[in-house]
Amino acid sequence: MEPLKLVAVSAGLSKPSSTRLLADRLTEATARELTAGERPVEIRVVELRDLAVDIANNLVAGFPSPALRETREAVTGADGLIVVTPVFAASYSGLFKSFFDLIEPDELSGMPVLLGATGGTSRHSLVLEHALRPLFSYLHTLILPTAVFAATDDWGAGADNYAGGLAARIDRAGGEFARLLAGRNPMATAKGPNSAEMDEVVPFEQLLGDLA
């Protein structure tokens, strides 16, 4: 079986960065689920900060460097993309947008994409919906409904433990994305021995009778 090509694109500027860390965690969670399902996977992580000058030159001159051309081919030739950007001025970073400006919409048509973002506070989390999701809809990608935002407080001992905290959200998104890549229902979960009972449809009239 040919391995799935999974590419993660990180637009973090510092080194190390929480953006790269989130990209790595999402990639690991996805790969772990695929491996558990005996599906081989090849992983590549793209650091846009290393291509910043190449991206700027391409925007001005119209010609990609060999390194940028090879990275674009890896992204457009992937079976699935994980994209993570820091939040700048309530949106994705300029570096992140500039890279995807170099890709024609039809080059990513139908590509499964998992969205991620990082920021100082959870108040920026809507960037996933009002900025990233429209961008990748324009690029005609298949966007996973579940996205992951990581604020500064989500890392370390003071992390928010609601719904299991960031680790649980990463595991959920990675599992759903792996199922999407493997061609299964991404929202499906493993069923226990009582799954037949859980799937049984109760007539509406019976539900109303129980309330009487």
Give pLDDT, residue 123.
84
pLDDT for residue 211 is more than 70: no
Average pLDDT, the chain: 86
Mean pLDDT of 172-178: 97
pLDDT for residue 63 is more than 80: yes
Contacts of 98 (CB under 8 A, 6+ apart): 55, 56, 59
Q: What is the pLDDT of residues 127-154, one digit of tens each?
A: 999 999 999 999 999 999 999 999 988 8
Model-level pTM?
0.84
Lowest mean pLDDT segment, chosen from 16-30, 48-62, 172-186: 172-186
DSSP the chain: -PPEEEEEEE---SSS-HHHHHHHHHHHHHHHHHHHTT--EEEEEEEGGGGHHHHHHHHHHS---HHHHHHHHHHHT-SEEEEEEEEETTEE-HHHHHHHHTS-GGGGTT-EEEEEEEESSGGGTTHIIIIIHHHHHHTT-EE-S--EEEEGGGSSTT---GGGHHHHHHHHHHHHHHHHHTTS-TT-----TTHHHHHPPPPHHHHHHHH-
Mean pLDDT of 70-97: 96
Give pLDDT, residue 179.
95
Reported as a pLDDT band with limits 50, 70 and 90, residue 157 is: low
Give pLDDT, residue 195.
38
Mean pLDDT of 53-58: 97
Mean pLDDT of 39-61: 96
Q: What is the pLDDT of residues 114-134, one digit of tens each?
A: 999 999 888 889 999 999 999
Q: Facing residues of 113 across strands?
A: 81, 143
Q: Regarding predicted confidence, which is higher, 120 or 186?
A: 120
